[in-house]
Structure 1
Amino acid sequence: MLERGCSATGIELNKLKFEFATENISIHINSGRATLINKNVYEEEALATLKEKFDLIVLKDVIEHIPNQEKFIPYIKQFLKPSGRIFFGFPPWYMPHGGHQQICESKWLGFLPYFHLLPISLYRAVLKIFGEHEGTIHELLEIKETGISIERFERIVVDSNYEIEKKQPYLINPIYEDKFGWKPRKQFSFVNKIPFLRNFITTCVYYVIRKK
């Protein structure tokens, strides 16, 4: 979007990721088209900077990492212009690698589907048995706490007084084309109609939502 002349503001809580992003898009920051903020989105300073500013808020592979989504999703409404939209893209928690276990150092665990659905104590034990570092274990357990299903996400959206403008579930996540060379494939329509079970074989869902 920056290459097309749009202006953008990014907010990143993690200092290292903020510094990486700043270096990565320095040309756009220097041109004045991009701004990065290293603040918690709930802080007053961030609120003053962001309120009623955006035509589009993009949360790609973000919402599944944020604690208390019931608070966060209605909170960011105040950052939208009246006609603004929010884009969400996330892997449902119950999908084969919804626990982000691909970050494991063990290649076997990285490819093992669904084991993130084990009870927490057993999940932690398996990670330790395979020699994962404490930092990795901590990150994976955090994701286990914040993972989100299709049904829960949609319930929060409705309860937050948004409406879903567009929705597209995928059998094969579009990002897999860059990672593995797999062509994106939309989810079968009959699968989309099966509550809960659809989470297990849907690798990601894209949503565009707006204020009611």
Structure 2
Amino acid sequence: MQKRHTNRKQYFKELAQTCEKYFLPFIEHHKEIVPELNILEIGCGECGNLQPFSKRGCKVTGIDISDVRIEEAKQFFQEEDLQGNFLCQDIFAANFEEKFDIIIIHDVIEHVLAKKRLLTIAKNLLNSNGIIYVGFPPWQMPFGGHQQICHNKIISSLPFIHLLPEKAYRVLLEKIGINQRTITELMEIKDCKTTIEHFKRLVKEVNLTQLNEVYYFINPHYESKFGLTPRKTFSLFSAIPVWRNFFTTSYFSILNTRNQD
């Protein structure tokens, strides 16, 4: 496991930096970021993604099922003298009385089995002119199985091992000595795997419209984490279904509720 997965303040700062430089500008192509915008992040973690929006005077709300992450979000925002509303709730059971101008779902959908239901909830929480930003690592990308969470330098550094058959993958993790809790999490991620094609089908099924998309060969997160310069996937690869999942480490999409032609 890398240090940033245990040092949550570092992780918070890295997320805030990446959001400020990449997520926010991508969103702002379709929605001007002005004070008083109402923004919700689903699966917010410690809310690093919401920090740049709060700094611009937006009203930010983060919801996450982890009480530890929500407490960290409150602490980190307080330390930076920023305002935010943080809810420790399951999005599938939460009730909101308000609508949102922007909904962020970043590195979350690949952890959720009920993806169609999640997108439907997000759609129903949007203002009439609101947008949804979704970002996720496609399943077939080198570390699409999130094996980097392992407390093992070999496994956490091995690309594509998550593509092994389920039984072989589990046996490998057990033989290496990965603890059962981590194995369970990794197998859940394998069950929840998300490809770009699956996501696009779901968008159509819930009657959302895709306004924009971008394929990254080098994930923008890797700039703050590893010092790598983000690069978009070559158009030749991003145009080919299935194969683009192998050549894209992060996929961004902007959605709204406009009627499709």
Contact 2:122 2:132 in 1 (8 A): no
> Aligned-pair distance for 1:142?
1.0
Is 1:13 equivalent to 2:65 in the alignment?
yes
Is 1:42 equivalent to 2:88 in the alignment?
no
Moved more, 11-20 or 150-159: 11-20
Aligned mates of 2:161, 2:140 — CA distance in 1: 10
| Residue matched to 2:128 | 82
Aligned mates of 1:27, 1:96 — CA distance in 2: 36
Paired residue type of 1:8? V
- Correspondence list, 1:134-145, <5 A: 134-145=180-191
Is 1:113 equivalent to 2:159 in the alignment?
yes
Cα deviation 1:53-101 (Å, max 9, x = unaligned): 2110111111111221022112221111000000011100010100000
What is the aligned residue count? 206
SS in 1 for 2:120: helix
> Aligned-pair distance for 1:193?
1.1
Paired residue type of 1:3? K
SS in 2 for 1:47: coil
Is 1:175 equivalent to 2:175 in the alignment?
no
Paired residue type of 2:96? A
> Aligned-pair distance for 1:48?
3.1
| Residue matched to 1:104 | 150
> Aligned-pair distance for 1:177?
0.3
Aligned mates of 1:48, 1:116 — CA distance in 2: 37
Is 1:66 equivalent to 2:116 in the alignment?
no
Aligned mates of 2:220, 2:128 — CA distance in 1: 30
Cα deviation 1:136-187 (Å, max 9, x = unaligned): 1111111111120000001000111011101000110000001110000011
Contact 2:238 2:247 in 1 (8 A): no
Cα deviation 1:19-41 (Å, max 9, x = unaligned): 2222111357x86x310111111
Aligned mates of 1:162, 1:70 — CA distance in 2: 11
Which structure is higher in RCO with an 8 Å CA cutoff and minimum separation 6?
Answer: 1
SS in 2 for 1:48: coil
Aligned mates of 1:70, 1:7 — CA distance in 2: 27
Contact 2:138 2:245 in 1 (8 A): yes
SS in 1 for 2:159: coil
The CA RMSD measured in Å over matched residues stands at 1.4
Is 1:203 equivalent to 2:249 in the alignment?
yes
Unaligned runs of 5+ in 1: none
Match 2:74 to one of 22, 25, 34: 22
